[in-house]
Amino acid sequence: MDILYKKLEKYHERGIYPFHMPGHKRNEKAVDFLPGLTADITEIEGFDQLHHPAGTLKDAQRAAARLFGADETFYSVNGSTGALLAAVCACTTPGNALLMARNCHKSVYHAVCLGQLDSFYLYPKIVAPYGLNGSIQPIQVEKALEARPDVQAVLITSPTYDGIVSPVGEIAEIVHRRGIPLIVDEAHGAHFPFHGFFPAPALEQGADVVVHSLHKTLPSLTQTALLHVRGERVEMGRIRRYMEIFQTSSPSYLLMGSMDACIRRLADTGPELFNGYVDRLGRLRERLSKLQYIDLVGDDLSGHAAVWDLDRSKLILDTRKSPMSGPQLYRWLWEEAGLQMEMEAETYVLGMTSIADTDEGYDRLSQALEDLEGMWKREGRIPQKGSGLFRSDLALSSGEKILPIGRAVEQPCETIPLSQSEGRIAGGSLYLYPPGIPLVVPGEKVTAGLIGMIMRSRAAGLAVQGLADTIDPAPGIPVIRKRQDRFTDRG
C-alpha cells in the first residue's frame, strides 16, 4: 500500500528536477519562509483574521496590492480556483450571462453552474501549424457583446496554459464601453509585472479583476493565489463576501505566510532576481533552439495573426519531427533523465520555468535532449515528420448547447458506452488534466468528432477525466436520461 508522506519523502530523495509548478521549484534558496509545525497556527491573538482583516493580514494584502498595482488585493488559500469562483459570482447575478473564452479553466464553468448563469463562448483562433489555442481577438468580443445584451461580465484566460496572451487592453476598452467588468484569469502570469521580457500584465492594460496563482510561477507554496481589483466597475463588498464563501473559515497561516514572504521578497529584490532569471532563461532557449528534431516553440510565433504575445517562460517541446510522441518524450525525460515536466500532449511536452530554477537544472534538460538526439542518430532512427493535433484542439471540440450548465447538472443521468453516446446530452464534464479545460460540459450535445478525439487521446496515452470505466470493455460517459427532443427550452 502506498503511504503518501512516505512517497513524498522518497520522491525528494530521488533528486528529480521540476520543470513544473510550484514556482519555488523546491529550491530552499529561493524562499524566505519554510514553514513547519511551529508556524501552523489558527486565528489567535495578534495574527489577524483573513475574512475580517484589521492588522497583520490587512497590511500583507495591501503590500500585495502595491506590488501588483491593484486598488485592493485579496489572499486566496483556495488557489486561483476559489478566486475565480468569487470573481464570477461577484460580477454577475443569477439568470444573466457570462461571456467567456471556451478555453477557460473548469473552475469558471463551476462558477457558471453555481451562479445559474448562461455561458456564451469566445473561441480562440487556432495557431497553425501547431494547433495551439491562440489569442482572443477584440473583434470577437465586440460582435459577441452586440449579440448578447444580457452579458454582465467578460472573462478570458491570458496567458493560456501554453503561454499565449490576448490583447487585454483592446478587449478592456470594448468591454468597458458596455459598462461591464473584464475578468482576466492570469493565473499563469503572476511574473509578468517584474520584467519587460514578459508580456504586459492585465492590470496594467485595464482589466478590472485579475487572478494570479502565486504558486504557479513565483516562489510560493501550492494553493496560494491573489485576486486583484482595480477601478469602480466591481463592487468590493461583493468580492469580499464571495471570497469568504469560497474559502475555508480556518485559513492556513503556513500558506498566508508563504504568500507574504514571496511578495516581500519581490518588493525588495525583484529586479535583481528577474534580471538573473531572464538571462538564464534566454541562454536556455538559445541552446534548446539548436536541437535538430525537437522544436522549441516560441519565437517563430511572433507576429502570427492568431498570437498577440507569448510568455517565453514556458517551454513547449514539439515532437512531430522526432521518432517520439509527446507522451513518449515525457516518459523518457522522467525515467532516463530524472526530469519531471509539467504536461504531456499528443505531440508536445510542456515545461515551466521560474526565478527559482538553477543553471544546473537548465543544463540537465538541455543535455538530456541533446543526448537523446545523439542516440537517435547512432541508432539510425531517422525521424519521420508526424502529424496530429495538440491537446488544445481537443479542448475546444464541444457540441451544441442544449441546456445551461446549471440546469443540466440537475437532470437525472445514466452512464452509457462512449461509442453509443452520439447525439445525447452530456450530464457531466470531461477533461484532459492538466490544464483542466472541458472537452464537453453538462448540457452540450455529444458529437461523433468528440467521441473520436476522446478515443484518440486515450490511445495516445492521455488520461481523460470524467469517464466511467465501469462499462467493460469500453469507457462510459454520463448523459442526461431525457432525449434532446424532450427539452423545448434551450435557454
On the question of pLDDT at 489 being above 60, the answer is no
Write down the pLDDT at residue 146.
97
User: pLDDT tens digits, residue range 128-184?
Assistant: 777 789 999 999 999 999 999 999 999 999 999 999 999 999 999 999 999 999 999
User: pLDDT tens digits, residue range 255-296?
Assistant: 999 999 999 999 999 999 999 999 999 999 999 999 999 999
User: pLDDT tens digits, residue range 168-200?
Assistant: 999 999 999 999 999 999 999 999 999 999 999
Q: Which of 215-224, 254-263, 443-452 has the lowest mean pLDDT?
A: 443-452
Write down the pLDDT at residue 64.
98
Write down the pLDDT at residue 238.
98
CATH number for the domain including 445?
3.90.100.10
Average per-residue pLDDT for the chain: 91
Total domains in the chain come to 3
Can you spell out the DSSP letters for 306-336?
T-SEE-TTEEEEE-TTSSS-HHHHHHHHHHH
- Domain assignment present for residue 179? The answer is yes
| pLDDT band of 2, cuts 50, 70, 90 | confident
| pLDDT band of 8, cuts 50, 70, 90 | confident
In this prediction the pTM is 0.94
Write down the pLDDT at residue 242.
98
Instruction: List all residues 6 or more positions away from 390 whose beta carbon is below 8 Å from its beta carbon.
Output: 130, 131, 132, 345, 346, 347, 348
Do 189 and 304 fall within a single domain?
A: no
On the question of pLDDT at 459 being above 90, the answer is no
Nearest partner of 42 among 74, 8, 77, 18, judged by Cα: 77
| pLDDT band of 472, cuts 50, 70, 90 | low
**Most confidently modeled of 162-176, 438-452, 457-471?**
162-176
Instruction: List all residues 6 or more positions away from 286 whose beta carbon is below 8 Å from its beta carbon.
Output: none
Do 59 and 14 fall within a single domain?
A: no
- Domain assignment present for residue 383? The answer is no
* Over residues 417-426, mean pLDDT: 93
* Over residues 193-217, mean pLDDT: 98
Do 108 and 214 fall within a single domain?
A: yes
Write down the pLDDT at residue 396.
59
| pLDDT band of 431, cuts 50, 70, 90 | confident
| pLDDT band of 488, cuts 50, 70, 90 | low
CATH number for the domain including 334?
3.90.1150.150
Q: Which residue has the higher pLDDT, 234 or 302?
A: 234
On the question of pLDDT at 386 being above 90, the answer is no
Write down the pLDDT at residue 454.
87
- Domain assignment present for residue 8? The answer is yes
Do 222 and 322 fall within a single domain?
A: no
Local structure of 219: helix, strand or coil = coil
On the question of pLDDT at 450 being above 60, the answer is yes
Spatial contact of 186 and 130, defined as CB atoms under 8 Å apart: no
Name the grid cell of 280.
Answer: 538564464
Domain of 430? 397-486
- Domain assignment present for residue 491? The answer is no
Q: Which of 212-221, 229-238, 343-352, 388-397 has the lowest mean pLDDT?
A: 388-397
On the question of pLDDT at 19 being above 80, the answer is yes
Write down the pLDDT at residue 397.
54
User: How many separate helices (H) and strands (E) can be counted in the chain?
Assistant: 14, 22
On the question of pLDDT at 399 being above 80, the answer is no
Name the grid cell of 303.
Answer: 507576429
H or E stretch covering 143: helix 138-147
Write down the pLDDT at residue 457.
83
Q: Look at residues 238, 264, 290 and tell me which one is the last residue of a structural domain.
A: 264
Do 423 and 352 fall within a single domain?
A: no
Q: Look at residues 208, 230, 264 and tell me which one is the last residue of a structural domain.
A: 264
Q: Which of 72-76, 366-370, 390-394, 449-453 has the lowest mean pLDDT?
A: 390-394
Spatial contact of 214 and 190, defined as CB atoms under 8 Å apart: yes
* Over residues 437-450, mean pLDDT: 91
Is the peptide bond preceding residue 434 cis, with omega within 30 degrees of 0?
yes
Write down the pLDDT at residue 491.
44
Do 372 and 416 fall within a single domain?
A: no
Local structure of 251: helix, strand or coil = coil
**Counting beta carbons within 10 angstroms of the beta carbon of residue 4, is it exposed (0 to 12), middle (13 to 18) or buried (19 or more)?**
exposed
Do 128 and 65 fall within a single domain?
A: yes
Annotate 171-196 with b (16+ C-beta within 10 A) or e (fewer): bbbbbbebebbbbbbbbbbbbbbbbe
CATH number for the domain including 163?
3.40.640.10
Q: Look at residues 264, 295, 316 and tell me which one is the last residue of a structural domain.
A: 264
Percent of the chain exceeding pLDDT 70 equals 93
Can you spell out the DSSP letters for 259-312?
HHHHHHHHHHHHHHHHHHHHHHHHHHHHHHTT-SSSEEESGGGTT-TT-SEE-T
Do 247 and 373 fall within a single domain?
A: no
**Counting beta carbons within 10 angstroms of the beta carbon of residue 451, is it exposed (0 to 12), middle (13 to 18) or buried (19 or more)?**
middle
